[in-house]
Amino acid sequence: MVIGEDWHFYSVPFRYIGKEVRIAYCEDTVEIYHDNQRIALHSRNYRSHGYTTLKEHMPQAHQVVSRQQGWDPEYYLRKASENGPCTYEFFKKVMDSKRIIDQSYSSCLGLLRLIKSYGAVRMENACKRALTGYKFSYIAVKNILDHNMDLIQDLDSKEYRIPEHPNLRGPATYKE
C-alpha cells in the first residue's frame, strides 16, 4: 500500500494482495484494515518512494527461497571482499541505503554479475569511483563501467596560483 502524500510504500500480508483495504495514519503510525480488521501496523516513514516491509508479510515460499539462496549480508560482503576493499565498501553502502536489507539483495546480485562481466580489476576501479558519489546503486556502477569511466585516470588536483608580476598589490597597500 502507498500513502500518496508521502509516496511511501507499506507491506500487507500477501493474502490481501488485490483486495480492497483502508489506510488510517497519523504522524507516527500507519494502520491497514480489511473488512474492519487491522491486518498491518507500521511506524510511519516519510522517505519518498521508500519501502517498509515486514518479512512475515512475504509468502512462505519467498522466505524459504531467500534463505536457500544464502541471501544474507555476510554472503554478499564476503563475495565483495574477495574482489577488493572498494567493492566491499560499495556493497556496504548499497546495503545501508535500504531500510530493509533484503531489498538490497537484487542490487548485490547485479553487482556480482558485473564482476563476472567486466572483471575484478575494472569492478574495483568502478566501485572506487562510485564511492566518491552520493548514490550507491547497481545502476551507478553499471554506468561507470558501460562508459569506461573506470579506465580514466584520476587527474591530480593542481593548485593554481596567479603568477607574480608588478601590478599586484599586496597587504601593505591597504595599510594606512
- pTM of the shown model: 0.56
In a domain, 111, yes or no: yes
DSSP H helical segments within the chain, as ranges?
Answer: 60-68, 73-83, 85-96, 105-118, 120-130, 138-146
In a domain, 164, yes or no: no
Are 22 and 83 within one domain?
no
Are 75 and 109 within one domain?
yes
| Site of grid cell 552520493 | 134
User: Does pLDDT of 20 surpass 60?
Assistant: yes
User: Does pLDDT of 87 surpass 80?
Assistant: yes
Instruction: Supply the pLDDT for residue 148.
Output: 93
Question: Into how many domains does the chain fold?
Answer: 2
What's the domain range around 115? Answer: 69-151
Q: CB–CB of 62/13 below 8 Å? A: no
In a domain, 142, yes or no: yes
Taking residues 81-92, what's their average pLDDT?
A: 95
In a domain, 156, yes or no: no
